[in-house]
Homo-oligomer: A and B are copies of this chain.
Amino acid sequence: MVYFDSDYMVGAHPKVMEKLVATNSLHTVGYGRDEFTEEAKRLILDVCGIENGDVFFLVGGTQTNAVVIDRLLDHNDGVVAADTGHINVHEAGAIESNGHKVLTLRGCEGKLLAVDVSYFIREFYLDSTNEYMVRPGMVYVSYPTELGTLYSREELENLYAVCRRYDIPLFIDGARLAYGLAAESGELTIKELAQLCDVFYIGGTKCGALFGEAVVTKRPELLPRFRSLMKLHGATLAKGRLLGVQFSTLFTDGLYEEIGKHAVELALRLKKGFVKKGYKLFIDSPTNQQFFILPNETIDSLRKVASFELWGPRGEKETPVRFVTDWSTTEEDIATVLSNI
């Protein structure tokens, strides 16, 4: 059986595991005050081209979104997001549980358009009753989006311009960042991305780590007493150096980049194979998530050799499906799929 269900089905990239094993019996101070964490911070700020920024390491994505958003928003502010945004759909109400409304706009292939955000915020400020409405206090986007798509440079620039005009932070959820950076059609380097938002996070869990996300900001004044807020949210790892060790490995010798490239290359090979055989794309994604519309009989026969997700309820004749690659996907895995369709 070959596996394409998601990018969190397997452990860490072997180099990450090796480093965890190699450092296992060292004694360090806890809670991320250790030298590995310091090194990881330095490496990340460097790769992002940020001089006076800050980096914080958390365990998982939902947690990271919840803590960052809780920090960036005032009591009665909400976060603007696409209706397909992870925080609006698959985080069990984590944002609301901290008291904040998710203000959803209809996304366009998973992306939030600057023009829609601008219109929405302007409308809010024009409304004479807005004192009793939830103020748009920040904007949340994912890069890549939940549908595998990417913002172009211009799209992100426009979005960030809207945020700056209204003086609200733009936060980018980079749970699958490695794959966005590696996409051929991806127009943004991590340095550019770091400049086109206020806070973003570099996904580890889905990009080669056992777990872990690195929150990066060029404006540390936006995250005051963040470590204390992390603790309050149960997001502080006692053996914090585990995060430092993993991220310093991922950002040494270009491993993070390599992981992204590997997965995207294989994902595109998969796409090409499906398209060549005449299958329809459900959405045209340049990253490690690929979405096809397959006849139900194809799905049934393919499932004997490959594991993957239906993307929504099974249709009468055909159903959208998702295939996800990661560091562990091999050329043979791809070949197995393509030779069975």
Contacts and interface: CB of A to CB of B under 8 A. Distances in A.
| Size bracket, chain A contacts | 35 or more
Interface in A4-53: 5-6, 8-12, 14, 17, 20-21, 23-31
Contacts of A92: 76, 131-134, 228-229, 231-232
B91 A232 contact: yes
A237 interface: yes
A78 B63 contact: no
Interface in A90-138: 90-94, 96-102, 123, 126, 129, 131-135
A104 to B, nearest CB: 8
B90 A100 contact: no
Contacts of A239: 8-9, 11, 205, 210-211
A231 B78 contact: no
Interface stretch (A54-62, A190-198, A262-270): A54-62
B75 A232 contact: yes
Nearest to A86: B132
Interface of A: 3, 5-6, 8-12, 14, 17, 20-21, 23-31, 59-64, 66-67, 70-71, 74-76, 78, 89-94, 96-102, 123, 126, 129, 131-135, 205-206, 210-211, 224-225, 227-229, 231-239, 242, 307, 313, 328
29 contacts: A3-B27, A5-B27, A5-B29, A5-B30, A17-B24, A20-B20, A21-B21, A59-B234, A63-B234, A64-B234, A67-B234, A76-B93, A76-B228, A76-B231, A92-B131, A92-B133, A92-B134, A92-B229, A93-B99, A93-B101, A94-B233, A98-B99, A123-B313, A131-B231, A132-B228, A205-B239, A210-B242, A234-B234, A234-B235
CB-based closest 6 A-B pairs:
A63-B234, A11-B24, A92-B231, A8-B238, A3-B27, A92-B232
Given A10-B27, A11-B24, A92-B131, 6 more contacts: A10-B26, A60-B236, A75-B229, A76-B231, A93-B101, A126-B313
